[in-house]
Structure 1
Amino acid sequence: MRPFFLSPLLVSLAVGAAILPRSDVVSYDGFKVFRINTYGHPSAIKEKLSGISFEQWNGDIYNHLDILVSPSQIGPFEELGLDFQVMHENLRDSVVAESEPRSVSKRQVDDLSWYDSYHNYEDHIQYFNDLQESFPNNSETISSGKSYQGRNLYGLHLWGAGGPGKPAVLYHGNVHAREWITSPVVEYITLQLVTGYTNGDNLVRSLLDQYDFYIIPIVNPDGFVYTQTTDRLWRKNRQPPPSGANQSQIGRDINRNWEFGWDANPQGASTNPGSQTYKGEAPSDAPENQGLDKLVRQLRDGPGIKLFIDWHSYGQYILSPFGYKETLYAPELGKWTKAASIVSETIRDSSDARTTFTFGPSGAVLYPTTGAAPDHVYSIGRAEFSYTIELRDTGNFGFVLPPEYIRPTAEEQWEGQKALLSLLDEEFFDGEGPA
């Protein structure tokens, strides 16, 4: 494999501020992240919090609530007398440690030290280009459209013996900009497919001979770049708000903008352009969603979609449709749950940390979500299996996961994917719902 050059990492709110002396860089100096124990009464906790300003991080509010609090609100928060732990004492320090540039040099694409640190957008592109060049007869670079700011939604299409045209496995990474861990996980799985096939690994060869893989590691490139230059905790894309709205309220939530179920539940997304879960003015009015949806429909009308995974962080969940209603269950739920249980067990057994993943239908396990990708790719794209996987961790670090967790997170997910991909056509799914 040809040498791959890594440029220095251009990230960090504080580091970025030092490199680029701009007034709009968010430093998060003095901000704290708290985990509040809700003891099964989240509404009561939220009522107590109603007098202060905060940003909610997590979704498992039945057991605990993770919130980001600015310096001016820390005193009033502590006076509430809630039961809490501190996840980040000073979020700026955690961001600086996470984003600290590493000394790097030329290396091969299969050098696993790539997974010892986070990288900038351009280096991610180069990494995937080099992976393709190392596997030229069984891969091609693809694009699933353009972002609002004109960046390519790049990816790879991989196949095995007999050429392309088999049922698709589709992976999306970095849907939400601040969820950095998702891209290296998707890249690691791609690397294992490429090197495994090249080196004659029987399992990998059987997988690529049976399925075509379509892998898009960063489906929200504008937001991702913004997290590296300006605001580490940015979530949405960078699309301007509707006319007449506050023009500082930038962005749509790509995972609330899909067509299916877009307007099915008022609790599933926000109509406020300033909200983290703003769903847009209309279904798929984000250009990123338009391009992604076009590929979904092309695969549906071609070889079909066997498996779709939308990769996110954090919380350690394997979530299936439906998200827009807590009590709506798809007929395939039985086989989805059985598969997820095997993946969860495989990850736990493969991990020194005994990492545990909770699984089940999204709306029942977490909270309502409308216009979400797994619901759309199942219902419109007719994917046989469709999941959201929320990666590490469960709340020690949240979105700002230290670099030393990248490789173990990626490794355990590869073990989980090997198990999942190996059983997609197994007979034990008989009787678990229509295929």
Structure 2
Amino acid sequence: MKSLLLISLLLADALSFVVPRAGQEVDYSGFKALRLKLSEQSEDIEAQIEELAAHVLNPGRSELLDVVVAPENVDAVTALAAESTVITEDVGAAFKEETLATKDEVSVAAVPSETWFTAYHPYADHITFLRDLQSGFTSQSEIITTGTSVQGRTLTGIHIWGSGGKGSKPAVLFHGTVHAREWISTMTVEYMAWQLLTKYSTNSTVKAMVDKFDFYIIPIVNPDGFVYSQTTDRLWRKNRQTVSGNSCVGRDINRNWPYKWEVTGGASTNPCSETYKGQAAGDSPENKGLVAHVNSLRDSKGLTLYIDFHSYGQYILWPYGYNCNVVVDNDAQHRSLATRAASAIRAVSGTRYTIGPACSTLYATTGDSTDYTDAVGQSTYSYTYELRDTGNYGFTLPASQIQPTIRETWEGVVSMVRDA
């Protein structure tokens, strides 16, 4: 297996006003990352900021906005805010400081070592990682596919089982990298698969987990966007689906699920927005495949636990996103599992997570994965993890933080699986 580029991704969730020329990578030299406190919650002010900013990193938040701004727009943006703080002085310089890993040749089909989790990697290497991992444990795992992307890439994952054989237990489902630049989510989801397979024969806790559930793990559910973030615009969030009659590209796959998609206030109808919901519920090909997979798990042995891994903010959230006044039937049980998971994470390295229902704890979202997996997929528990950090690095989380992040998150996930 090959380990190529070590790339520490940067910041972003935003409007698509930074448009590269064909074949040319976006240059963020001199761009600043700012945290803005608004004097009032005004849609007009927020709209003006979005027009001026290259990217809004945390769309949906209104009291504090993290934005990336071109040098010529910094004064205009800060004038609209009550307070502004510089998070990153020069976004382009931060990219240039990222270290490139030397090409490390490893024997093909060897089970990947834990050193994989010390660097960020190109898309093709992630597919090789999954196949190499599965090839070492052919009696209790298989490569699975859950549809294709706009550009024809297969959504590739791994299915892991224990005693009782393939497909004999209720499902646990993990998704990663629905938002292209959230590279730490890719590494975290892959670590779940690596731990479950490599520790099954030696760790009683892992064995109990794998014998209790069938695990379905898909580290990159937005492959086109992920590749684009590596080759052209590191701040890219959405998929790469075009909109007829519009020059803006991409749907937010996590605003496209066909449950409460039509509700207003939790996504955008503007194709240029990073939270663009699409023209119809479930109209992204990636979402079609994910929906079909969730439904098939529901109709088989059932879905017990779903986790959608994102960054950043350090949150554990559960349904609902579409309405802050509606709570899931087993809200108390969701809170109990999340409380124990947050404690398990904190016990590893002191990292603190905020927990709560998605809408009231963070912001409104419509057509999102956890609402769908709960209400339609009938998952007993559905969560979003927003991984490290709280904004100091944001999407530029250094490679040195990969292992601390995946290890603490693993303990949180173990806690949830044990108690589910």
Q: Please give the TM-score of this superposition, normalised by the length of structure 2.
A: 0.91
Q: Specify the code of the residue in structure 1 equivalent to 2:262.
A: D
> Aligned partners of 2:219, 2:120: CA distance in 1, in Å?
13
Q: Specify the code of the residue in structure 2 equivalent to 1:256.
A: R
Q: Pick one of 318, 324, 333 that aligns with 2:322.
A: 324
- Which residue of the partner structure matches residue 262 of structure 1? 261
Listed as ranges, the matches of 1:128-147 within 5 Å are 128-147=130-149
> Aligned partners of 1:319, 1:310: CA distance in 2, in Å?
10
Pairwise CA distance, 1:87: 1.4
Listed as ranges, the matches of 1:16-415 within 5 Å are 24-38=24-38, 42-43=40-41, 47=45, 50=48, 53-54=52-53, 55-58=55-58, 61=61, 64-79=64-79, 82-98=82-98, 100-106=100-106, 109-164=111-166, 165-198=168-201, 200-241=202-243, 243=244, 245-246=245-246, 248-264=247-263, 266-351=264-349, 354-415=350-411
> Aligned partners of 1:134, 1:280: CA distance in 2, in Å?
40
Pairwise CA distance, 1:400: 1.8
Judge which range, 388-397 or 108-117, deviates more.
108-117
Secondary structure of the equivalent of 1:43? coil
Distance 1:48 1:423, change over 3 A: closer
1:148–1:286 contact (8 Å) kept in structure 2: yes
2:175–2:308 contact (8 Å) kept in structure 1: yes
- Which residue of the partner structure matches residue 14 of structure 2? none
- Taking only aligned residues, the RMSD between alpha carbons, in angstroms, comes to 2.3
Pairwise CA distance, 1:81: 7.2
Q: Specify the code of the residue in structure 2 equivalent to 1:328.
A: V
Would you say how many aligned residue pairs link Structure 1 and Structure 2?
Answer: 406
Q: Specify the code of the residue in structure 1 equivalent to 2:211.
A: D
- Which residue of the partner structure matches residue 418 of structure 1? 414
Distance 1:49 1:360, change over 3 A: same
- % same residue: 44
- Provide, for residues 61-120 of structure 1, a one-character-per-residue CA deviation record: whole Å limited to 9, x for no partner: 465321111111113334567433221111112223346334523265442221121100
Structure 1: gaps spanning 5 or more residues: 14-19, 425-435
- Which residue of the partner structure matches residue 16 of structure 2? none
- Which residue of the partner structure matches residue 6 of structure 1? 3
2:311–2:395 contact (8 Å) kept in structure 1: yes
> Aligned partners of 1:23, 1:128: CA distance in 2, in Å?
29
2:147–2:290 contact (8 Å) kept in structure 1: yes
1:131–1:191 contact (8 Å) kept in structure 2: yes
- Provide, for residues 148-171 of structure 1, a one-character-per-residue CA deviation record: whole Å limited to 9, x for no partner: 100010000000011022100000
Pairwise CA distance, 1:338: 1.0
Secondary structure of the equivalent of 1:308? strand
1:58–1:315 contact (8 Å) kept in structure 2: no
> Aligned partners of 2:211, 2:68: CA distance in 1, in Å?
46
2:35–2:87 contact (8 Å) kept in structure 1: yes
Q: Specify the code of the residue in structure 1 equivalent to 2:214.
A: D
Structure 2: gaps spanning 5 or more residues: 11-19
Secondary structure of the equivalent of 1:66? strand
1:240–1:249 contact (8 Å) kept in structure 2: yes
> Aligned partners of 2:136, 2:255: CA distance in 1, in Å?
36
Secondary structure of the equivalent of 2:87? strand
Distance 1:177 1:219, change over 3 A: same
Distance 1:209 1:358, change over 3 A: same
Secondary structure of the equivalent of 2:306? strand
2:7–2:100 contact (8 Å) kept in structure 1: no
